[in-house]
Structure 1
Amino acid sequence: MIPRSLSTRLSLYGLVGVGAAAVHALALLVLGGLMPLWLANPLAFLAASLASYLGHSRFTFQPETGGQRFARRWLILQYVVNLTVSGVLPLALPGWLPSGAEVAVLVFTPTALNALIWSKAARFSLQRRQGERVIPLRHADDLGLSQAANTAILALAKAGQLDGTSLLVNGPAAAEGAEAWRSLTEHRPTLQLCLHLCLTEGPSSAVPELIPDLVNRQGHLHRSFGSWLLLSLLPRRHPERVRVVAQLRREIDAQIKQFQALGGHGSIALDGHQHIHLVPVVLEAVLDRAHSAGITWVRSTDEPLPTGLPLRCWWQACRDAGLLKWLILQLLSWRARAHLQRCGLSTNAGFAGVLFTGHMAGAPLLAAWRELSSLGAKAQHTAPLLLAHPGAPLDQNLADAGFTVSQAFAASPWRQREWRALATLTPLPDQSSG
């Protein structure tokens, strides 16, 4: 039985705490002779935090963790919180407190915070070990962007390694991709085709003269994700926002009609190229026509941080700005969730594919798969969605068709790596702990 008696847990917590304190003292004694105290103490404290992290996961909370380590994020959280509290708390104490009370506050505040952090870490581990397992949906974006993208996506779908794709209706190979996908659905009717709303590049679907603020001289959409986001910050009655939103609505309507003409019959599932659909001003325009256009599902990018990743992968996420993109889209998804619920639209229960955008192969792909598999089912939500961008070697210049932003991305050898990774990804959830 998982719960331990309070006395047993307190005893183990105390023993681990004493051990961590001993590690802190010993490390401080050794390092203090080699470097200044201001540098030696944080390093010694890090050693103590590591001892506490290992001790509590292996002994105090062994029933919850199964003897495995906590996810590393809890070690980082504990270390940062304790350093911050240790530095700020002495300065924040009122001067009228008796010295005995000050000592008690300085000693027991970090202790209480640590108990809270490790308890939450234990519950997190338990949920990952015992939660209901689901099979994530494997999804590929950019069908229609090029023959290279079509080749990879269609091959994966034929092999049963994809559950859905998103059609870029203004892509150079959209008609061919849509036709081939329709042929596949005759044998696999559960395959999903989504409208991949595009507002940042490629030819417009609406008449360019009707949307002058959205296109350049060549009639190609050119407003960036950042530009749309800044537009969302303007007051609703600001002249520029009113003018651009009117044109935005025309372009969305035109892309919906084009999607339906290419075979997207029935209810519409919608997402966005570069996740543009989550930008507030765009999402509002989509939701305003959800009922009339038959939009019933909109993708969210609520992506849990995966566990068990090598540190080099986290460095890659920081270096490639994946962590920054993740944070921005987490905030936008959080904002969108209430709007989708209010409009009666469904969405996916979880997502992976922003943090390591364009590099969904190897350790990031497997870690994301494990994480999504452990999320469990949610009412009024579809299964978690694993996103990748597979493609064959690119043999055309997409910039000629107005897809300047996507050219380097589509030409990267990572498109083939993602194709190979999806082709060998097991359809069964990995039961190992991250």
Structure 2
Amino acid sequence: MPQPKIKLVVTGDDFGYCPRRNRGIVDCFLAGAISNVSLLVNSSSAKDAAELAIRHCIPIGLHANLSEGVPVCQKLRRDSTLVNDNGFFHGKMGFRKVLQKGLLSMAEVELELQAQVKLFCDLLGHLPSHMDGHQHVHVLPEVRDVFARVLSEYGIPFTRVPVEPSLQSCSWLPLPLHEFYTQVEKDAWDSSTVFRAHGIRWPDVYLGLTTMGENMSVSSIKRAIGKALAAWQPKSPLAVPQCDTVRGTQGPVTVELMVHPGYPSDPQQGGCGQGPDSFSQSAERQHELETLMDPQLLAFYKQEQIQLCAFKDL
């Protein structure tokens, strides 16, 4: 059987994090290496990112943030279950610990998500075409229900369901990272039923956990796409249940590739209120940028009839 044609959404996450991340993401988009971005509205360079998206007509969604920096909603910045004693979100793992202890108010989660959607609209002049969660918090228990309700309330049609077909075969991932990704996948599987009940859609295949940072190369992206297509069948256990309106029975397979390109952050500039983290300062950001812009990868897309597009094009 010939390889099916693919609609590939290459999403640059963390747009707005700092000026150097913004510049790298824009360079990638102008080179045809990414096709979609997700904006952190509580980041230090969110306004600049929004202006760049408008200037360059970059398809843009909301990277909802409940784990890093400061809430957008003013009244949640103190005496809130979402923040620690210093007024900052609890962090990637801290958020999960507070949630597991039953100490997180879902009413406050909803208020913050609504505030971030409203700020996105103020910055861009329109609703996000898609909305996912920074550090995958949107698929966590309880949070997923609130997240789906907010998407439905605002009519935001697309989200991300991070279940990657080749994850379990990647024995080379460090054990702590593999365990975290495995838990993300389990939460994502469980969230798919909730999202589907609210009429929310997502691409047929998700990629990105196994191709991040130093693990990204032209060959690793090719391999991930190949494995995904080999594994994906509409009725297979690897096909996360979703709305049938994403693709027709004869249509192309839709894929999202999550990426984090950029130029490494200046240690004194960026972040969401606490300065840029080590992830953003890492040389891996530029490594991703250079890999995504590699002429060999762009030629591969053309050769295999892989069409880069945005969520709004699905």
Query: How far apart, in 2, do the equivalents of 1:137 and 1:251 lie?
Result: 27
Match of 1:203 among 70, 73, 78: 70
Which residue number corresponds to residue 412 of structure 1?
Answer: 282
Alpha carbons of structure 1 residues 327 and 209: separation in structure 2 relative to 1, 3 Å: closer
Please state how far the C-alpha of 1:398 moved relative to its aligned partner. Answer: 5.5
Query: How far apart, in 2, do the equivalents of 1:415 and 1:403 lie?
Result: 19
Match of 2:133 among 269, 272, 280: 272
Query: How far apart, in 2, do the equivalents of 1:403 and 1:351 lie?
Result: 30
Which residue number corresponds to residue 250 of structure 1?
Answer: 111
Cα deviation code 1:292-340 (max 9, x no counterpart) = 2222111110111079x9xxx742x135x33222211111111011111
Which residue number corresponds to residue 354 of structure 1?
Answer: 209
Which residue number corresponds to residue 144 of structure 2?
Answer: 283
Amino acid corresponding to residue 43 of structure 2 in structure 1: G
Please state how far the C-alpha of 1:392 moved relative to its aligned partner. Answer: 0.9
Residue 133 (str. 1) matches residue 5 (str. 2) = yes
Alpha carbons of structure 1 residues 291 and 135: separation in structure 2 relative to 1, 3 Å: closer
Kept in 1: contact 2:211–2:220 (CA 8 A): yes
Amino acid corresponding to residue 358 of structure 1 in structure 2: G
Please state how far the C-alpha of 1:211 moved relative to its aligned partner. Answer: 5.3
SS in 2 for 1:172: coil
Alpha carbons of structure 1 residues 340 and 365: separation in structure 2 relative to 1, 3 Å: same
Alpha carbons of structure 1 residues 134 and 215: separation in structure 2 relative to 1, 3 Å: same
Query: How far apart, in 2, do the equivalents of 1:183 and 1:158 lie?
Result: 12
Kept in 2: contact 1:147–1:173 (CA 8 A): yes
Which residue number corresponds to residue 174 of structure 1?
Answer: 46
Cα deviation code 1:131-157 (max 9, x no counterpart) = 523142211101000111101110111
Match of 2:222 among 354, 366, 391: 366
Query: How far apart, in 1, do the equivalents of 2:113 and 2:245 lie?
Result: 26
Kept in 2: contact 1:360–1:388 (CA 8 A): no
SS in 2 for 1:386: strand
Query: How far apart, in 2, do the equivalents of 1:284 and 1:264 lie?
Result: 27
Kept in 2: contact 1:198–1:273 (CA 8 A): yes
Which residue number corresponds to residue 77 of structure 1?
Answer: none
Amino acid corresponding to residue 190 of structure 2 in structure 1: R
Which residue number corresponds to residue 342 of structure 1?
Answer: 197
Which residue number corresponds to residue 145 of structure 1?
Answer: 17
Cα deviation code 1:333-391 (max 9, x no counterpart) = 11011111111111121111123433352243332233345547884337211111111
Tell me how large the CA RMSD over aligned residues is. 2.8
Which residue number corresponds to residue 87 of structure 2?
Answer: 219
Cα deviation code 1:207-226 (max 9, x no counterpart) = 145652222455322x2344
Residues 176-195 of structure 1: matches in 2 within 5 Å? 176-185=48-57, 191-195=58-62
Kept in 1: contact 2:43–2:273 (CA 8 A): no
Which residue number corresponds to residue 428 of structure 1?
Answer: 302
Cα deviation code 1:46-95 (max 9, x no counterpart) = xxxxxxxxxxxxxxxxxxxxxxxxxxxxxxxxxxxxxxxxxxxxxxxxxx
Which residue number corresponds to residue 158 of structure 1?
Answer: 30
Structure that is richer in helix per residue: 1
Alpha carbons of structure 1 residues 387 and 400: separation in structure 2 relative to 1, 3 Å: closer
Alpha carbons of structure 1 residues 380 and 392: separation in structure 2 relative to 1, 3 Å: same
Alpha carbons of structure 1 residues 414 and 227: separation in structure 2 relative to 1, 3 Å: closer
Q: Percent identity?
A: 24
Matched length: 284
Kept in 1: contact 2:207–2:256 (CA 8 A): yes
Amino acid corresponding to residue 35 of structure 2 in structure 1: D
Which residue number corresponds to residue 391 of structure 1?
Answer: 262
Kept in 1: contact 2:77–2:88 (CA 8 A): no
Which runs of no fewer than 5 residues in structure 1 stay unpaired? 1-128, 186-190
Amino acid corresponding to residue 189 of structure 2 in structure 1: W
Match of 1:381 among 223, 242, 246: 246
Kept in 2: contact 1:150–1:391 (CA 8 A): yes
Which runs of no fewer than 5 residues in structure 2 stay unpaired? 248-253, 306-314
SS in 1 for 2:214: coil
Amino acid corresponding to residue 349 of structure 1 in structure 2: D
Alpha carbons of structure 1 residues 421 and 358: separation in structure 2 relative to 1, 3 Å: same
Amino acid corresponding to residue 203 of structure 2 in structure 1: N
Please state how far the C-alpha of 1:288 moved relative to its aligned partner. Answer: 2.1
Please state how far the C-alpha of 1:264 moved relative to its aligned partner. Answer: 5.5
Q: Which has the larger radius of gyration?
A: 1
Query: How far apart, in 2, do the equivalents of 1:376 and 1:166 lie?
Result: 28
Please state how far the C-alpha of 1:428 moved relative to its aligned partner. Answer: 3.1
SS in 2 for 1:215: coil
